Amino acid sequence: MKARPSTLAAALAAVTAAALVAGCSSGGGSSATSGGAGPVKLDFWGWAPGYAQSVDLFDKAHPDIQVSFDQTASGAKGGYTKMLTAAKAGNAPCLAQVGYETLPSFAAAGALDDVSAYTADAKGRFADWTWNQVTIGGRTYGIPVDTAPMALLYRKDLFARYGITAPPLTWADYAADAAKVHAADPTVYLGDFGNDAYDYAGLAWQAGAGWFGTAGDQWQVTLDSGANQKVAGFWQDLLNRRLLKTDPSYDPSLYADMTDGKILSDVNAVWDVPILASSVKGGAGQWAVAPMPVWDAAAPAYGNDGGSATAVLKGCAHPKEAAEFAAWLSTDPGSVGNLIKVTGIYPAATSGLANPALTAPDPFYGGQTIYDVFKAEVPHIATDWQWGPTMTQTATDLGDGLGKAGTGGTTLPGMLADVQGRTVAGMKQQGLSVAG
């Protein structure tokens, strides 16, 4: 597997060196308390369903370390802002759920603690590329939890109603099926084009359309590259032909349209499997999971949409115990099984790939062993995708642009050029060296 380029450390160094040193040396976080007697107490902030249950399992088995899980808004909806504000104020929790895409931003803000000394033994238990996601400049800031291969979630019975005999293998097939469904009933759509930046990132990832890179000591931003324009052009064509619904991502309107049979499928990550099952009323047993459509059936490549780490934040008074918990969360069979069933993770720990929860049939998806689909895709997902140091702002700008494109307020190719410019300007404002 390819690792994150070593020059990433140099590219970040201009603004992070002093902050990272401060983050590593501080030790007064109020979220972790100790004393001569009693257990070490750690606070953990996150938003994913299922995490609280895994914390309960840990606490029952570890009387000397007690973790308290505090539910926050998701990272994109305020959770990250809350975490960064607390880190700046010196009262952050010891532990936080942080997506791989946002970890470089936390590093740039000096919000992370270096736990390399406590995680060396865990490194070999994880897929190499996921360990690279939590390591910057030779420092490790947490433990990987999951990856997020994408697939097509679809209504078997409604596909059959509209004459689709098999899920689309390629994006060309997807476009043809979208036209077929909409021609049969103009109120029905094969899929939805939402406004989630990271869902769109998975589409770019699949096509090899990277957004960030490094050369020497400089960042490179390629949001509007030729490969990205190819992806944008495909989806813009479907929007121009009005072949997609444009409900906002994860909005009640989306699930209402799915419930009513107005949207027949969703291209999304593995973690969307339980979300869709709990959000769509009715249709249980009629949904199924198929591989994500590909650009080239002879050389299939798939996308990844997400993945999180359990990060140790600046000021943690007990980094050793925090790292111990983080490794346990991602490797203990009971915890991993819980996170598979409730959270919908695909484990980053290699041992997790043998967890029995991955082979359990899913009643909502017609008794299908759905993880077989994701398992087959994983070897065909590139592992050299690189996130940038200002993803919070980039994702906000991209999400706004996707929403406007869906309503005709802009085009996807034009939007990418705009986000490219805004991202470069934002990086330079932070003191980062950016090519071009």
Q: What would the pLDDT profile of 149-180 be if each residue is shown by its tens digit?
A: 999 999 999 999 999 999 999 999 999 999 99
| pLDDT value, residue 20 | 40
| pLDDT value, residue 28 | 38
| pLDDT value, residue 35 | 47
Do the beta carbons of residue 197 and residue 392 sit within 8 Å? no
| pLDDT value, residue 137 | 87
How does the average pLDDT of the chain come out, rounded? 92
Q: Which residues contact 142 (CB under 8 A, 6 or more apart)?
A: 98, 103, 112, 115, 134, 309, 310, 311, 312, 323, 326
Q: Give the span between the Cα atoms of 245 and 247, in whole angstroms.
A: 6
Q: Which residues contact 361 (CB under 8 A, 6 or more apart)?
A: 367, 368, 369
pTM value is 0.91
Cβ neighbours of 67 (radius 10 Å):
26
Characterize 146-162 residue by residue with b for buried, 16 or more Cβ atoms within 10 angstroms of its Cβ, and e for exposed.
bbbbbbbbbbbebbeeb
| pLDDT value, residue 296 | 98
| pLDDT value, residue 272 | 96
User: Residue 276, Cα to own-chain centre: how many angstroms?
Assistant: 16
What domains are there in the chain, each with its CATH number? 8-147+306-354 (3.40.190.10), 150-304+385-429 (3.40.190.10)
Q: Give the span between the Cα atoms of 37 and 4, in whole angstroms.
A: 43
| pLDDT value, residue 17 | 40
Do the beta carbons of residue 134 and residue 304 sit within 8 Å? no
Do the beta carbons of residue 199 and residue 249 sit within 8 Å? yes
* Residue segments in the chain with a per-residue pLDDT below the cut of 70: 1-36, 436
